[in-house]
Chain A
Amino acid sequence: MQALFDNFQVLFQGLALGSIYALVALGFVLIIRATNVVNFAQGDFAMLGAYAMVLFFTGLSWPYWLAFVASLGAMAVFGVLFNYGVYYPLRYRAFLPVLISTLGASIFLQNTVLAVFGPQPRPLDKVLNADGVTIGGVFLDSQYLVILAVTMLLVLFTYVFFEHTLLGKKLQATSQDKDMARLLGIPVALMISITFVYSAVLGGIAGVLVGPILFVSIGMGSTIALKAFAATIIGGFGDVTGAIVGGLLLGVIESLAAYHISVPYKDAYAFLALFLFLLVRPQGIFGEKVSEKA
């Protein structure tokens, strides 16, 4: 019986961790769709968000809600900077230079933060000042509950935003055909900027939420980004639903495998799952097979 509870416990943690992957993966996919760029600095968006929170909340002792809003504001500004610094100059180039450029951005961000905050990981307070609840022998940590709730809200918001608002439709039009969108009077450069902002804010929220669990560290982004990227492939490359489902699935796989097999190799399971998917179903769960046209 206890074993069953433990499994539920692990499942719950996996879902919460998976939610973080899903949020970052969502940001990934939005940028891929809008610009066809795979952003290898995506995880560092989460890292930056978390450090912004450390600065405003822990450092400047602002109230939690104010620090949270300020962090997201900082991430929004950062999204614009990232667009114009990393993507925009290379927007007409092939994918490889852009990909390498985002890698460069990732190195830059991590080492700048390292120079400012030092190598020591920082703790961050939970959102709620409570331990959590125990239901039927399964302990539900309050932070994990918050993560699940916020993720659900954000996914819902993203859906409504993209499917039921004019701005969302314009963003979709931009991602599908930039030239046509431009001819219809949609300011494409602005739309791409908005995408980067939205993606940076999503990443920032993920960072703030996961900070209390993983500690805030320079490398936290890289690990999350790799998992998130794996999630987008498992879910179906460039597919929004796929990113979310893939993220959750990966979180669960990882937690269960770490619990049942071995903890030190925790980070390897995600990659093994990825390899398996690539071998068996390379287009992912929701993806369609596409081949190049001649």
Chain B
Amino acid sequence: MQRLHLPTLIVVGALALAAAVVPYLFETSAYVVQMFMQAVTYAIAVLGLVVVLGYTGQINLAQAAFFGFGAYGVALGSTTAGLSFWSSLLLGAGAATLAGLALGLTTIRLGGHYLAMITISFQQIFDLVLVNWIEVTHGPDGIAGIPRPSLFGWEMAEDRDYLLFCAIVLYLLVFAVWWLPGTRLGRAMRSVRENELAAEVVGVHTLRTKVTAFSLSALLGSIGGGLYAAGFAYISPDNFNFARSIEFLTAALLGGSQSPFGGVIGTVLIVQMPEWLKHLPEALSFVKDVYLAVYGIGVILIMVFLSEGIWGLIKVGRARFAKPAFTDTTGVQPLELDVSAGASGPLLTLHGLAKHFGGLKAVDGIDMAVNRGTVHALIGPNGSGKTTSLNVVSGIYKPTAGGVVLEGEDVSQLRPHERAGRGIGRTFQNIRLFANLSALENVMVGAQRDGNPIPSGNRALRARAMSALAFVGLADRAHMIVRNLPYGHQRLVEIARVLAGHPRLLLLDEPAAGLNQTEKMNLVELLRRLRGHGLTIFLIDHDMGLVEKVSDRITVLNFGRKIAEGTPQDVLRHPDVVAAYLGTSGPVN
């Protein structure tokens, strides 16, 4: 997705250049230059929202506070403390980044609604401190006489020089933010946005990713604020209150929060809007008085009709003329699964494993072992504790008692991404893909787990992901957005996502659910191929035909306890098993 088409590049470049040189070519009033300056510094703050909201899907209603950190850093540093612009900016940005880190850390327990609330609270406390801590912040009067910086002897006293400087900073940051999604970190961020649980299970350190996103957002906000303070020479608390945070948010949403270009477009429109309203005809002049109200309606309308903002519209328009995304598959290496052969003993051991939910004993003391290189099935009637067991093995739940031992190491207290890092991979009963990412990107997220024995770097990740997709027969669909793939293919992408990470143990939660007969036959063939590579598979399914065909060993659960274990032939005819499924204890055959 990180290929910017040449025409777009030219248009964007020309606009950017024009904005920067206009004040030099034409007579522009100080007022217009100031408005440009406002737009440029705000846009930098909005880029922060692109990272945290657009890429990572975490709401941040305190961007104005981070903007304020930078502004007050520069203002207090260069007036009260007599430091240079650069050291003051560094202090402000450092403080903002730390604050962003702290806010990001609250996502360890909270998401969504809570986060909105936490960030608003933070914003309000920041505002209260600015207004009331008069000895330091000068309170509501604000701080005046903030000097402009100089860079290698370039004095930026003149407005248009300073504006040029800010524009260059903006362009560099736009480039960085545009480049981010294609990196490891960027992919991790977008996987968190699309499906946080799946991201964690696939091996993304989701907390670290969110904290990083918040810190980056805060950093960008503070850079914008610092430049703003030196640009306008005067700041006061009302530049940094909740209303400003909402303005930033609206700008990001209007332009399109998933792209830095969208963010910039949105900011320019928001900054310009009051100006345009001034030129309304007499009959519509009342709009001027209520333009903030119009703003509010605008936010609702954007949400209803334009969920990806203006840039989203441009993208859709462009996609209409784009060729269907089939991928050249020449040169794709065959998948190599690097199964450590030779070691002996079971790969996975559960002992006394229990998981209780209040009084409900979903899993109640299971002992079992999954042997290396085998396909081991876990079956049982609905509610017997199969998926709960799988969730405990993959780390979504911590066991109430007992242990999960992978090759001699007790992993039962590790978080899901840490277990992924040790080679436990899984798929989900109800497919959990990163719906708005391409198949390739989905699989690359799987390939970038910690400890995956491949070279680091995008090239190796991409090659590995292509091999995994080729293994499941979807290499030519690599660039399709997975949301648009048929259901059966989505199941395969999910398996490829695990395979790309060199799993030692593959957990499959009802892989055949929802598949038709042909797809099921293909799945059986795929599982046999994987077994042929020596991969250890632990699966749950309700399709006894499939289970019988692929399994070396079966464990049967009922009411959270193991009731039978053995080869398919023995187990499926075991009287207790028949009774558990059919509810009779009578003789069989």
Contacts and interface: CB of A to CB of B under 8 A. Distances in A.
Interface stretch (B22-30, B298-306, B319-327): B298-306
Given A115-B289, A226-B120, A292-B197, A96 B300 contact: no
A290 to B, nearest CB: 10
A59 interface: no
B114 A233 contact: yes
B298 to A, nearest CB: 7
Interface in A243-283: 264-265, 267-268, 271-272, 274-275, 278, 282
A156 to B, nearest CB: 28
Contacts of A62: none
B117 interface: yes
Given A107-B293, A108-B296, A294-B509, A264 B128 contact: yes
Contacts of B293: 107-108, 111-112, 114-115
B391 A101 contact: no
Contact of B109 (A115, A271, A278): A278
A101 B298 CA distance: 9
Nearest to A88: B304
B429 interface: yes
Contact of B116 (A99, A106, A112, A265): A99
Interface string A98-127: 111101111111111011000000000000
Given A264-B128, A267-B124, A274-B117, A103 B299 contact: yes
B290 interface: yes
B295 interface: yes
Nearest to B118: A278
Interface residues of A, number: 45
Nearest to A38: B113
A8 B245 CA distance: 39
Interface string B280-301: 0000000001101101111110
B112 A95 contact: yes
A13 B577 CA distance: 66
A274 B242 CA distance: 18
A78 to B, nearest CB: 15
A194 B298 CA distance: 26
A63 interface: no
A51 interface: no
B304 A90 contact: yes
Given A292-B197, A294-B429, A107 B296 contact: yes
Interface in B56-73: 57, 59
Nearest to A99: B116
A229 interface: yes
A271 B299 CA distance: 27
B396 interface: yes
A85 B428 CA distance: 37
B296 A105 contact: yes
Contacts of A108: 293, 295-297, 300
Contact of B197 (A95, A103, A229, A294): A294
Contacts of B93: none
Interface in B122-141: 122, 124-125, 128, 131-132
Nearest to A292: B197
Given A268-B124, A278-B110, A106 B296 contact: yes
B106 interface: yes
Contact of B113 (A95, A97, A106, A267): A95
A147 interface: no
Contact of A294 (B122, B246, B428): B428
A25 to B, nearest CB: 12
A45 interface: no
A96 B197 CA distance: 17
Nearest to A272: B125
A105 B110 contact: no
A101 B303 contact: yes
A40 to B, nearest CB: 8
Given A89-B304, A264-B128, A237 B290 contact: no
B232 interface: no
Contacts of B246: 103, 107
Contact of A97 (B116, B128, B292, B303): B303
B292 A226 contact: no
Given A104-B296, A230-B117, A115 B290 contact: yes
Nearest to B122: A271
Interface in B393-420: 394, 396-397
B291 to A, nearest CB: 8
A129 interface: no
A272 B129 CA distance: 13
A275 B121 contact: yes
B307 interface: yes
Contacts of B125: 268, 271-272
Given A96-B59, A107-B293, 13 more contacts: A93-B303, A104-B295, A104-B299, A108-B300, A109-B296, A226-B124, A264-B131, A267-B124, A268-B125, A274-B117, A274-B118, A278-B106, A278-B114
Interface of B: 57, 59, 106, 109-110, 112-114, 116-118, 120-122, 124-125, 128, 131-132, 197, 201, 242, 246, 249, 253, 289-290, 292-293, 295-300, 302-304, 307, 387, 390-391, 394, 396-397, 428-429, 432, 509
List 3 tightest A-B contacts by C-beta distance, closest first. A104-B299, A108-B296, A107-B296
17 contacts: A40-B116, A86-B300, A90-B303, A95-B113, A96-B112, A99-B59, A103-B249, A104-B295, A104-B298, A107-B296, A110-B292, A112-B290, A265-B132, A267-B128, A271-B124, A291-B397, A294-B432
